[in-house]
Each structure stands twice: as structure tokens, then as C-alpha cells.
């Protein structure tokens, strides 16, 4: 019986880790869209955005822009039942 349970059990899909850096000027603008989960923002003294976090299996991370403005968002694999995304983001201290 135990052997049958072990064979039938499937592992939970692992969360996907992300890490992305992009240039953004100290006076630039940055927009974040994350529907479910947590976002922690830190200001720092660099002209770079650093994004670290975990995505649910199947979710997609998108980011883009230039030195004066950028944005990022998470696209859920299932928009009717989105899973949490946890992000920690460092942005230039004077960004809006």
C-alpha cells in the first residue's frame, strides 16, 4: 500500500526564482504590477533596478523600459486563480 502511495504521489511544482537588473536613472519612474503576493521596495544609491523574487509555476515575469522610465509585471498562468508572487525590489532612491 505504501509503495502504491509513493508511486502515485507527485511532487509539488517548484516556484521559479527570478533575478533581473536594469538601468534606471535616479530621477526616473518605475511602475510595478503584481496582483497577488508581496512586494518589498528598497531605495538605494545606484542607477539600477534589482528585482529578486519567486514566481508560481507557469507564471511569467516581464520587465522593460529605459533610463528615464521602466515597468514590470507578472502574468499569471491562471487569471481566475492567481498564485502569489513574492518580490524584493531595489530602486534608485529618488525614483517615482
Domain that holds residue 73: 13-92
Q: What's the pTM value of the predicted model, to 2 decimals?
A: 0.80
Residue 2: helix, strand or coil by DSSP? helix
The three-state secondary structure class of 36 is: coil
In tens, the pLDDT along 7-33 reads 544 445 678 999 999 999 999 999 999
Q: Is residue 5 part of a domain?
A: no
Query: How many whole angstroms separate alpha carbon 84 and alpha carbon 81?
Result: 10
**Neighbouring-strand partners of residue 21:** 50
> Is residue 2 one of the residues assigned to a domain?
no
pLDDT digits (tens, 9 = 90+) for 29-87: 999 999 999 999 999 999 999 999 999 999 999 999 999 999 999 999 998 999 999 99
Q: How many domains does the chain have?
A: 1
Query: What phi and psi, each to the nearest 5 degrees, are found at residue 7?
Result: -70, -40
Whether residue 4 lies inside any domain: the answer is no
Is residue 44 included in any domain, yes or no? yes
Residue 53's CB is within 10 A of a number of other CB atoms, namely: 22
The pLDDT of residue 1: 52
Residues comprising the chain, all counted: 96
Amino acid at each position: 500500500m505504501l509503495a502504491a502511495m509513493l508511486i502515485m504521489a507527485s511532487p509539488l511544482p517548484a516556484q521559479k526564482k527570478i533575478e533581473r537588473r536594469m538601468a534606471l536613472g535616479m530621477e526616473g519612474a518605475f511602475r510595478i504590477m503584481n496582483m497577488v503576493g508581496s512586494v518589498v521596495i528598497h531605495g538605494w544609491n545606484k542607477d539600477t533596478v534589482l528585482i529578486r523574487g519567486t514566481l508560481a509555476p507557469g507564471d511569467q515575469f516581464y520587465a522593460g523600459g529605459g533610463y528615464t522610465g521602466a515597468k514590470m509585471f507578472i502574468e499569471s498562468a491562471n487569471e481566475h486563480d492567481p498564485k502569489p508572487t513574492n518580490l524584493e525590489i531595489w530602486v534608485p532612491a529618488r525614483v517615482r
